[in-house]
A and B are shown apart, each in its own frame.
Chain A
Amino acid sequence: MSNQQFEQDLRNKIDQLDKNMQPQRDLWTGIEVALSEQHTTKKKPYLAIAASVMVVGLVGWLGLKSDIVADNSPQLVQTLTQQHQQQMQGLLVTYADAPALTNDWQQQLDELDRAADAIKQALAKDPNNPALLKMLQQVYQQQIDLVEKVHAPGWQRI
């Protein structure tokens, strides 16, 4: 069959696409909650923020000092991991009484855990790689973001 036929067929199918699809669940309720949340003071654990800033700063500085990473990578990974665990514990305690707004957040947390483990294994084999250290920090940050999002509906997940 010719290219012309394909183009015509594709054009017809594009023209027939539904441009007014409706979501399966009610989205307005969540939006309304989020808009109300924007007016209230966002309760954020100051300790977690401080720890986060410290970890980001540490990794950022070390990104510029690859020789230091090479010499100290195992200790840095350990420090990063310890700080992250403390930060996560603090967050989970803070949000212990807050309802989680999605069902699969713990599964997502586990997936990120596995990702972090994979990076740590890669770092054990390649300690001279500051990019891996940054990736580890990013995965940890994603875990923090995830916990905050599912417990504080002011942002993406409602």
Chain B
Amino acid sequence: MTLATNVIEAEAKFDQETRLINAARGGDKQAFQTLYQKYIGMVYSLCFRLMGDGPLAEDASQEVFIQLWKKLENYRGDSKFSTWLHSVTANIAISYLRKQRGWLQRMFHIEDTDAINTEAEGSAGDVDLDEYVKRLPERARIVFVLHAIEGYRHEEIASMTNMAVGSSKAQYHRAKQLLKEWMGYE
């Protein structure tokens, strides 16, 4: 396939997506459903890792698309739609998590202690990283997912999560230390 063919294909896909977005903005649910089918995997994967819980991630993914229906008019096309949707998803998922988590935990800033009691299982070779990420304490998990997996900067994470940049870095360090231990490197 030539470079020119690649460019033409990319432009066609871009145009098709732009058409879908514009149609959905105009109230076309079928166009919106096509966008849903295209992006549900990305949205759910991010929600799943941020939440550490499948059913909660499913609820949050629904919330993302329900809010997206209204937020579409805010998309100006400055960045790729997938990049913009990724950021929208992260923000909604974090906000959703805050609403859903136990009020006691929030009120008294109690971290879940599961992670602390988790013992290393298996050797580094057969570790399912998602399983370990799921067991990280909530704040450490959110920072690890956003920084290490999704590539957000600590400044961006701090803004999304209302924590200080230093706290984001500290939580990242904490997550790495726990993973290192569980993966048998300590």
What is the total of A-B residue contacts with beta carbons within 8 Å?
A: 95
- Whether the Cβ atoms of B124 and A9 lie closer than 8 Å is yes
Residue of B nearest to A10 (CB): B179
Instruction: Confirm or deny: A62 has a beta carbon within 8 angstroms of a beta carbon on chain B.
Output: no
Q: How far is the CB of B83 from chain A (nearest CB, A)?
A: 13
**In the complex, which residues of chain A have a beta carbon less than 8 angstroms from the beta carbon of B96?**
156
**Interface on chain B toward A: helix, strand, loop, or mixed SS?**
helix
Query: Which stretch of A24-32, A40-48, A64-72, A74-82 is in the interface?
Result: A24-32
Contact of B62 among A5, A112, A158 (CB under 8 A): A158
Task: Report if A27-B62 is in contact (Cβ < 8 Å); known contacts: A19-B42, A20-B45, A135-B107.
Answer: yes
Q: Which of B53-61, B110-118, B162-170 contacts A (4 or more CB under 8 A)?
A: B53-61
Interface residues on B, range: 35 or more
Residue of A nearest to B68 (CB): A31
Query: Would you give the 0/1 interface string for A136-156, flagging 1 where the beta carbon is closer than 8 Å to chain B?
Result: 001100100000000000111
Size range of the interface on A?
35 or more
Partner of B65, one of A5, A22, A27, A155: A27
Structural contact, B183 and A10, CB atoms closer than 8 A: yes
The answer to whether B62 touches A35 (Cβ under 8 A) is no
Q: Could you tell me if B103 and A156 are in contact, using CB atoms closer than 8 angstroms?
A: no
Q: Give the complex CA separation of A135 and B124 in angstroms.
A: 44
Interface residues of A (CB under 8 A from B): 1, 3, 5-6, 9-10, 13-14, 16-25, 27-28, 30-32, 34-35, 38, 112, 115, 135, 138-139, 142, 154-158
Could you list some 23 contacts between A and B, CB below 8 A?
A1-B184, A6-B124, A9-B183, A10-B129, A10-B148, A17-B129, A17-B149, A19-B41, A19-B45, A20-B41, A21-B41, A21-B45, A23-B54, A23-B61, A27-B40, A27-B62, A27-B65, A30-B62, A35-B32, A112-B103, A156-B59, A156-B62, A158-B62
